[in-house]
Amino acid sequence: MLLPSRYEENRFDANPSEKSMNAITKLFKKTKLDGCFQRYGGMDFGSGWGRQDARNYLESLMQRSCWNRIIVAKVVSCLQHARDIGDEESIIYFSEAKDEGFEYISIDGNNTCSTVFHFLNGHKDLYLKIGRKKVYLADFDEDVQNDIIHTTRITYVELRQIGIREMATLFQRLNTNTQLNRQEWRQARWSILSNSIREIANNGPTEGRNRAVFQHYFNWKGTEQLDKRDHEEMVAQMAARRLDFKSTIAKALDELYENRDELPQETEDNLTNTFNHLHEMIGEPLTKKFSKGMFHNLVDMIDIITIDHSLKILNHEALFAWFLMRHEHLEAGSGEVKEDDQEDQSYKYWTKYCNTEARWNKIRATLEAIFVLDMTWLKQSKIIKVPRTSKDTFTWDQKRSAAIKQKYKTREGQSFDFVDMWTGKMEADHVLSVKDGGKTELSNCEIMFATDNRAKGSRSSEPFFDHQQQREEEAVR
């Protein structure tokens, strides 16, 4: 780990001090680990130190042979600094952190803090090795415990004048020699784009919803892949494809983060909708996990249906089953392709190595072809349908006119009033359904109870009221 230069310490108004393990433990609970730029390390996550790394650190600490620093941003001081210089972005950031109850933001040394905290709290994997014996803190007598807890010192640096963008940049620089994976490095910056990708990959409309999508399709039992940001890399690949990047190889994703500060709103909306569909397809736990290429193929199929063809998915479970069947057929067919012809003819090969533009285009063309082939069957099976648009929705004036012409009675003779119209108890229905070619006009409008309208579905009905008979007479003329 690199240390901040003396210039940076002065620049950010650093306040270094020596803290005991006891003090570090108390501060750890007041410190925010921000995944927007910081890696999720520590004992609770899988992308930082392993258990052996943590034990090695504790042994070095006990031997007074550690010179690392914990570096944090002090929330109250940084908030005041942001206000003094008019840094609106940092004002919002530190204000939110303060409202959440945090006093510090972790910049570097989270693994150290986490190890110390969990060692003092008796974590089963944190002990000192004395000979062949595992010795936990609680195994020492009270005087030795107090000596370890209160006299072992670690350098703790508070930065009191640093903004959020500077924090992200400093984190990257401090971790130059640390084994951050490629996606951790990309996300270790402060930008609207990195925030958006992280939000879409993890939370979605509700906390943790999209993380559950990845855990389901990839059969991830723990959080190791999530902590290493595998899922965020896949979302970045999905975004890159929508932005017409030539490939989604590592270099292309680096360029995405370096050259774009934010995603277009349309791209964000498309990704959000795609994850909504993926979530709706979650059913019984999968015993066989998806490959990353297969996951992208499912995403592409959703896009082909909902974006390219503007169709609505009615039965997500049935569509997922259809996709699996077609995927298996395509993979089985790939087994007959000779090795020399795989680049040109093998769906299985394209799926496995899907990060180049040429292979992705071949996959899209293949998926498009099988969808078009089965589209009529999918519609007839009520798995997909053409969605209604505003032109298929009656206006308020049409609804009111139909209610008047019906004399505020249904065809069964049940009465309703204008309040029922306003509260949604009554709905306007197409007598000749849109599916059967019915138009959205007064002569094809009927007011009925919402429950009856739902039960009727997309079926057409015979004209009943006088204004509906007029439609028939006009058709005859």
Task: Report pLDDT digits (tens) over 51-67.
Answer: 888 899 999 999 888 88
For residue 187, with 0-12 CB atoms within 10 Å meaning exposed, 13-18 middle and 19 or more buried, which class applies?
Answer: buried
Number of C-beta neighbours around residue 96 at 10 A: 12
What pTM does this model have? Answer: 0.66
d(CA 49, CA 58): 12
Q: Tell me the residue length of the chain.
A: 477
Alpha helices in 304-356 (DSSP H): 316-334, 342-345, 347-352
Question: Rounded to 5 degrees, what are φ and ψ at 419?
Answer: -65, -40
The pLDDT score that the predictor gives to residue 9 is: 58
Phi, psi of 133 (to 5 degrees): -95, 140
Q: How many other CB atoms are found less than 10 A from the CB of residue 253?
A: 21
CA–CA dist 8, 12 (Å, integer): 6
Q: What's the confidence (pLDDT) of residue 42?
A: 72
Q: What is the pLDDT along the chain (477 residues), one digit of tens a residue?
A: 444 555 455 789 999 999 999 999 999 999 998 877 776 667 776 556 778 888 999 999 998 888 889 999 999 999 999 999 999 999 999 999 999 999 999 998 988 999 999 999 999 999 999 888 999 999 999 999 999 999 999 999 999 999 998 998 888 888 765 567 888 888 878 888 988 998 899 876 556 789 899 999 999 887 778 878 899 999 999 999 988 777 788 888 999 998 888 999 999 999 999 999 999 999 888 888 999 999 999 999 999 999 988 899 999 999 999 999 999 999 999 988 888 888 999 999 999 999 888 899 999 999 999 999 999 999 999 999 887 666 778 999 999 999 999 999 999 999 999 898 888 889 999 999 887 888 999 999 999 998 888 777 778 899 999 999 755 444 444
What pLDDT, on the 0 to 100 scale, is given for residue 117? 94
pLDDT for 388: 66
Within 10 A of 80 (CB to CB), how many other CB atoms are there?
14
Query: How many of the other CB atoms lie within 10 Å of CB of 342?
Result: 16
The pLDDT, as a whole number, for residue 45 is 64
What is the model's pLDDT at position 2?
46
* Residues 6 or more apart in contact with residue 14 via CB below 8 angstroms: 4, 8, 157, 158, 159, 160
DSSP line for 387-448: PP-GGGS--HHHHHHHHHHTTTB-TT--B--HHHHHTTSEEEEESS-GGGT--SSGGGEEEE
Structure tokens at 290: 């998806």
Give how far the C-alpha of residue 418 lies from the chain's centroid of Cα atoms, to the nearest Å.
Answer: 44
Using CB atoms within 10 Å of the CB of residue 134, give its burial: 0 to 12 exposed, 13 to 18 middle, 19+ buried: middle
Q: List, as own/partner pairs, every contact residues 250-255 make where C-beta atoms lie below 8 angstroms and the sequence separation is at least 24, other chains included.
A: 250/182, 253/182, 253/183, 253/186, 254/182, 254/186
Q: Which residues contact 212 (CB under 8 A, 6 or more apart)?
A: 279, 282
- The Cα–Cα gap between 383 and 259 comes to 40
As a whole number of angstroms, the distance between CA 304 and CA 364 comes to: 8
First to last CA, the chain: 86
| Residue found by looking up tokens 């510090």 in the block | 104
Q: Which residue has the tokens 């000979």?
A: 131
